[in-house]
Amino acid sequence: MPNRYTLHVVPWSHTHVSWLRHAIGEFFEAGLAQGGDILRTQRNVDAYLSLGLAGAERGDPCLLAIVGDVPVSYTMWIGVPPMLDSKWKTLNAMGSFTTPSWRHRGVSLALREAGVQLAKERGYERITATAFNSNERGIHDFCVGLEGWPVSTNVEVRFT
């Protein structure tokens, strides 16, 4: 792979559904390995894909990084429906995935920067995200790269 490449950031679309299905499945597998519980089932992949495509159609930052004609990474940031009155117009970071051979090459950073710009243009005021404690890189990227800060802790209690 050459060191120089041209990266295009585009919204999710039906053109790339095949790649998205694969990437979403890989995202679920990575989550399971880190302690998550969303299974890599066809039903879950389809639901997540539909959510991302609908978000992109609304103009939310559901973005793909394309090199040549091939997707190499995605982010899915979805606007939180205003079911209750809130201080902020909020996006929820629903996940991201980068093809392993494209990691640590600035692709995720480019998607985040494009996502933040699009979010601001659409009037969003903040983004919330959940990251597994084992995902030190993801926590670092949000807390340092986007100047975020932890505002709560998720606690899991299993009933056995």
Model pLDDT, residue 84: 77
In a domain, 140, yes or no: yes
In a domain, 102, yes or no: yes
Determine the distance from the C-alpha atom of residue 36 to the mean position of all C-alpha atoms in its chain, rounded to a whole number. Answer: 15
Q: Which domain holds residue 102?
A: 7-145
Sheet with 7-11: strands ordered across: 7-11, 62-67, 70-79, 90-98, 126-129
- Total number of domains constituting the chain: 1
pTM above 0.75, yes or no: yes
pLDDT tens track for 5-52: 899 999 999 999 999 999 999 999 998 998 888 999 999 999 999 999
